Amino acid sequence: MFGLLITLTAVVAYSWYITRQIQGLRQLQTDLADRNRKDSLQLLRIQNDLNSVGLAMRDMLDGEQPYPLTAWSAQFDRLKLDLNDALTREEQVAPLARTSDQREFLGNAFDQFWSAVGQMFALARDGRDADARTQIRVSLQARQAALSTAVARLLVENNEIEEQTAQRVAGIYDAVQRQVYWFLTATLVAIVLTSAYLIRSNRRLFAALAALSEQRHELAQKMIATRESTLRHLSRELHDEFGQTLTAIGSMLERARKHLPEDSPVRGELRETAEIAQTMLTQVRSLSQTLHPAVLEQAGLEGTIAWYLSTVERQLGIPVAYEREGGPVTLDGATGIHIYRVLQEALSNITRHSGASQAWVRLRSRGNALQVDVEDNGKGFDPGAPPRGLGIVGMRERAELVGGTIEFLRPGGRGTLVRLTVPLHHD
């Protein structure tokens, strides 16, 4: 978030800077370049009218002209109107750098010129053509030349202003270009620093998660090992202590019954008590096998599964079909007990949650792997949902302990299939 904030701030600041520069360029172009161009056009118009005035005065001084001097009065009036209009427009678009003295000088010079022109035409109308021509040569031509020079000087100044404006525009473009490079550099640096920080933070986070996962895995293994040790101890205690005690009680009751007369009513009571002791002994041994199947060490995994399914089918209340494919396998006791516990938990879940009417257990040995499938036709569950109990977590931990994998599937969109795959290590 901090890196994103830096990047957004830089983008906003740079956008504001570019906007200001573009506004400055637009204002510079409007106030200087366009205004100067329009002013130069009016000055060229004035210069052209002054040249026309100069040509007219040259013709007026030509003695071979058959026309009187007053004949040029209409032409001068037209040129005066055009010059006055050009001067008015030029004052409106004159560059801001031009001083008020320069503007007044040009206006005063034209006023004096037209005043002299009026005096010249007044002499001509009085019939004093020689004096009028003398005024043209002495005064009007000099004033016209001075005005042309002043207008030419203003045009030169406009050209200089245009060059200065072009330089300022180029300078602004260069500054903007440099700022673009600086902005890109700063943005890349910010991205690199932010990325480096994120990478470092993610590495630390993943390392912490890996450490926590390893600790959880170790804790789960210790809990499972402790549970198995406790169940083994309880199983042995039930089998050895309680089993032997109940066996001794049964033997003692049988001996006592034999010492009594045949017609003694106590014989029947002793027989019933012995039967109760035998039933309890059977239940204790069944509970002992459930807690820790000693048959696993004697008959192996396949025999233990066959024995367990024959007893658990009555508890489930539903038929359990058992299928065996492949050759025999040899497993160590630890791997066998973990597979057996996964089978127990899967069948227990069918009893408690599935609502199934049929279950299947399949044991397949294929190549270097042993596959155990527990399937039912119940309502099933979402395999992608997080587990809500410790049973599924325990099954996954046991699968990891034997180096295998466990899957929770929904074949055909109905029921649940628990598939445990365990690698086999052949000597």
Instruction: Report all structural domains of the chain as residue ranges with CATH numbers, in order of start.
Output: 2-195 (1.20.120), 296-423 (3.30.565.10)
pLDDT per position in the chain (427 positions), as tens?
Answer: 776 777 778 777 877 877 777 777 766 666 667 777 888 888 898 889 889 988 988 888 876 667 788 888 898 899 989 989 988 888 887 776 667 777 778 888 888 889 998 998 898 888 888 888 888 888 888 988 988 898 888 888 888 877 877 787 777 777 777 877 787 787 778 778 888 888 998 999 999 998 887 777 777 777 777 876 777 677 677 766 777 787 888 788 777 877 777 777 777 777 788 788 788 877 777 777 667 666 677 777 788 888 888 777 777 778 888 888 888 777 877 788 888 888 888 888 887 777 788 888 999 887 788 899 998 888 877 655 555 566 788 888 888 888 889 988 888 767 888 999 998 875 4
Which residue from 299, 40, 318 is spatially nearest to 155, judged by alpha carbons? 40
Q: Is 32 within 8 Å of 158 (Cβ atoms)?
A: no
Q: Is 359 within 8 Å of 375 (Cβ atoms)?
A: yes
Strand partners, 417: 375, 409
Structure tokens at 266: 């106590």
Kindly state the helix (H) or strand (E) to which residue 131 belongs, with its residue range: helix 129-135
Cα distances (angstroms) measured from residue 260 to each of 65, 122, 140, 249: 182, 179, 172, 17
- Whole-number Å distance between alpha carbons of 171 and 233: 91
- Whole-number Å distance between alpha carbons of 135 and 13: 68
- Residue 325: CB atoms within 10 Å: 10
State the pLDDT at residue 136. 86
Phi first, then psi, for residue 410 (nearest 5°) are -125, 85
Helices vs. strands in the chain: H and E counts, helices first: 11, 5
State the pLDDT at residue 219. 77
Single-letter amino acid, residue 382: D
Which residue from 31, 291, 52, 56 is spatially nearest to 161, judged by alpha carbons? 31
> Could you say which DSSP state residue 386 is in?
P
Q: How far is CA 201 from the centre of its chain?
A: 17
Q: Is 380 within 8 Å of 415 (Cβ atoms)?
A: yes
* Ordered DSSP codes for 165-224: HHHHHHHHHHHHHHHHHHHHHHHHHHHHHHHHHHHHHHHHHHHHHHHHHHHHHHHHHHHH
CA quadruple 181, 186, 191, 196: dihedral positive or negative? positive
- Whole-number Å distance between alpha carbons of 42 and 159: 14
User: How many alpha carbons fall within 13 Å on the CB side of residue 2?
Assistant: 5
Phi first, then psi, for residue 361 (nearest 5°) are -125, 125
CA quadruple 119, 125, 128, 133: dihedral positive or negative? positive
State the pLDDT at residue 205. 92
- Whole-number Å distance between alpha carbons of 167 and 378: 86
Classified as helix, coil or strand, 406 is: strand
Q: What stretches of 238-373 show up as alpha helix (H) in DSSP? A: 243-259, 265-291, 295-316, 333-349
Q: Is 395 within 8 Å of 358 (Cβ atoms)?
A: no
Which residue from 381, 364, 366, 380 is spatially nearest to 419, judged by alpha carbons? 364
State the pLDDT at residue 365. 86
- Whole-number Å distance between alpha carbons of 42 and 158: 12
State the pLDDT at residue 295. 67
Termini Cα distance of the chain:
57
- Whole-number Å distance between alpha carbons of 109 and 274: 148
State the pLDDT at residue 82. 92
Single-letter amino acid, residue 370: L
State the pLDDT at residue 426. 56
